[in-house]
Structure 1
Amino acid sequence: MNRPTLQQIEAFFWTATLGSVQKAADRLSLSQPAVSLRLKEFESNIGGPLFERSGRKLYPTQRTRELLRGAHNVLDAVDQLSSTASTNIAGVLKVGFAEGFAMACLPRIIERLHKTYPDIHPELTVATSSSIEPALQNSRLDLAFLVEPHEIEGFTYVYLGLQPTAWVASTSFDLSGVVTPNTLARIRIIANQPGTIGYRQVVRWFASDGLNPAQLDICSSVAIQAKLIEAGTGVGIMPVPMIEEAVTAGRLRILETFPPVQPVAIFLVHRSDGLTAAGRALVECVNETLIEMQFLV
């Protein structure tokens, strides 16, 4: 008989507490099959079934009720251990965030960081990825979360996921139906400066139909770019999570386009000699926040 793992105990505790494998999966930010597998392994290690099934409902056995208190004590002890460890991680952490990514999720990341690691003090640089990369290379930053970064020797690149992007416009624009490069060729376009992924997305999208935008305004700030688009100054390509609130409020519209705008990859970038304890703590908070927000695709 093998010793149960912490992951198996978590799956058992939350399934028994919530009465549903799916609810346990949601609580643990896992897929339903992953929780089912952990339950199966836990039952094998314990040596017997822990639930009686009736349709989709689960009913705990007498043994389950006996084990539940022990599982609760184990998880409480782990939480206390994590809390104690968190208080020992301290210091200033210099970190860069791509602006569109930061606009959508940075407040929740920092809130989680302060709650879990109150003695870590971030110094934040928020700009386009191309503007942040030199500071990272010159050691003015400890780590960064970038969009489509350039690969440079001596750095480690950890793929986090894809951030959806789309053409967006003020609802004052009459742009119904499928929008093509020819549709937008005479409309003012607002984009990031040359060298950024946002600029390249605009140029490539028009080039797919052999066109160039006739009116192109450049803005170095993604946040101001969004404000200009919302005001009806022009249209542009924006990170979807960043403008969801404005879309829901009816101030912006995501355009249906052909060709579609491709998502962009988000990477954690740091020197290959590793991360500090504070850096690892921030990465943990970022990953947990992104899962909670279902931010990346």
Structure 2
Amino acid sequence: MRRLTLPQIEAFYWTVTLGSVQKAADKIGLSQPALSLRLKEFELGVGAPVFERSHRKMTPNRRGLDMIKRAREILDAVDGLGGSAAQSVAGVVKVGFAEGFALACLPQIIERLHSRYSDVHPELTIATSSSMEPALEDGRIDLAFLVEPREVEGFTYVYLGLQPTAWVASSAAASAYASPVTPNGLARDRVISNQPGTIGYGQVIRWFASEGLQPAHLDICSSVAIQAKLIEAGTGIGILPTKMIEPELEAGRLKILDTFPPVQPVAIFLVHREEALTPASKALVECVTDTLGETGYLL
């Protein structure tokens, strides 16, 4: 079970491959101290040392040698499989996306996938992260892009970045709130949230609990997209991913509330079993990470 970032994996791979921290730092474009910090973070994520250290060099230990192939596979998924390889990649990928992430990014991801890998066919599951975790664990989906997943033995967790979220209201409703809005100021208003057990529900409850409160009027909705529509119609307020509602914000139909405390962003992870990803799965991961870089969806 690992909870690692792509930069940490890259630092580990190039240090082992090039046989030198300095050479790896030059390859990646970092200072040596910065790369050394990434290596320490990598070992913390793994939960054990992966290098034998001496005054002059770092060499991978048995655990490090066992991990180098897996690191290369992950980097291949991000960096791309190359033109000739792309033509031969085919297959079905059963993949899950957290709904807010999917609403903002999925059209671009699928367009990129079809353009690069015409014979890779996704079977999409769109739901809350908590509802997709059982499907991932029992093999109904191959991989998933989840918000704050719980850790389960036998799975790899690759940190992708932070998804910004905020309290949101319709433009008409937002004008009634003085800035900053506090839990006490919203406690008697109607709040729309995902169901209990979801990340969104937890964000709402924790925010009010920061002042020892609970929302007096809490409506539950299983769909983030419908939550946004209900909030836009003025039926309540809620916490939403801000990138998901950019069109509504730009059009002035929704507004972000200035709140104290601020709503904390949530982490997005790629989650899959520890076995190697298939070429088709790697192709999809490549298209997701390229889309994330292009859109700036994550912090």
What's the TM-score, normalizing by structure 1?
A: 0.73
- Give the letter aligned to residue 192 of structure 2: I
List per-residue Cα deviations over 1:215-238 (Å, max 9, x = no partner): 000000111111111110100000
Matches of 1:140 and 1:269, distance apart in 2: 14
2:221 corresponds, among 219, 222, 225, to 219
C-alpha separation in 1, matches of 2:158 and 2:211: 34
User: Are 2:276 and 1:274 equivalent residues in the alignment?
Assistant: yes
1:124 correspondence with 2:124: yes
Cα distance in 2 for residues equivalent to 1:291 and 1:97 = 17
Partner in structure 2 of residue 164 of structure 1 = 164
Match of 2:182 in 1: 180
What code does the residue aligned with 1:105 have?
C
Q: Deviations over 1:34-76 (max 9, x none)?
A: 8899xxxxxxxxxxxxxxxxxxxxxxxxxxxxxxxxxxxxxxx
Moved over 6 A (4+): 34-37
The equivalent of 1:190 in structure 2 is: 192
Instruction: String of CA shifts for 1:239-267, please: whole Å, max 9, x gaps.
Output: 01001110110000000000000000000
Matches within 5 A, 1:227-246: 227-246=229-248
Superposed CA offset, 1:159-200 (max 9, x none): 000000000000111224210001101110000000000000
The SS at the match of 1:220 is: coil
Q: Which has the higher contact order (CA 8 A, sep 6+)?
A: 2
1:289 maps to a residue whose letter is T
Matched residue, 1:102: 102
1:262 partnered with 2:236: no
Secondary structure of 2:166's counterpart equals strand
Partner of 1:209: 211
The alpha carbon displacement at 1:155 in A equals 0.4
Shift of 1:85: 1.2
Q: Distance in 2 between matches of 1:288 and 1:139?
A: 26
SS of alignment partner, residue 106 of structure 1: helix
Secondary structure (helix, strand or coil) at the match of 1:87 reads: helix
The CA RMSD measured in Å over matched residues stands at 1.5
Secondary structure at the counterpart of residue 145 of structure 2: strand
Counterpart Cα distance in 1 of 2:139 and 2:29: 41
Identity %: 70
> What residue is the counterpart of 1:27 in the other structure?
none
In structure 2, distance between residues paired with 1:259 and 1:168: 14
Distance 1:220 1:289 in 2: 26
Match of 1:4 in 2: none
Gap change, CA 1:36 and 1:137, over 3 Å in 2: closer
Residue 136 of structure 1 is matched in structure 2 by: 136
1:277 maps to amino acid: P
CA distance in 1 between counterparts of 2:264 and 2:228 reads 19
Q: Which runs of 5+ in 2 are unaligned?
A: 1-27, 32-80
- The match for 2:41 is none
**Secondary structure of the structure 2 residue equivalent to 1:156:** strand
Q: How many residues align?
A: 221
Q: In structure 1, how many angstroms separate the alpha carbons of the residues matched to 2:88 and 2:177?
A: 55
When Rg is computed on C-alpha atoms for both structures, the one with the higher figure is 1
Question: Which residue pairs with 1:50 in the alignment?
Answer: none
- Over 3 Å counting, the alpha-carbon distance change for 1:176 and 1:251 in structure 2 is farther
Secondary structure at the residue paired with 1:202?
Answer: helix
Residue 86 (structure 1) aligns with: 86
How do 1:51-70 and structure 2 match up within 5 A? none
Give the letter for the 1:240 counterpart: T
**Aligned with 2:153: secondary structure?**
coil
- Alpha-carbon distance in structure 1 between the residues aligned to 2:237 and 2:243: 17
* Cα offset, 1:82, TM superposition: 2.5
Corresponding letter in the other structure for 1:134: P
TM-score normalised by length of structure 2:
0.72
Deviation at 1:136, TM superposition (A): 0.4
3-state SS, counterpart of residue 190 of structure 1: strand
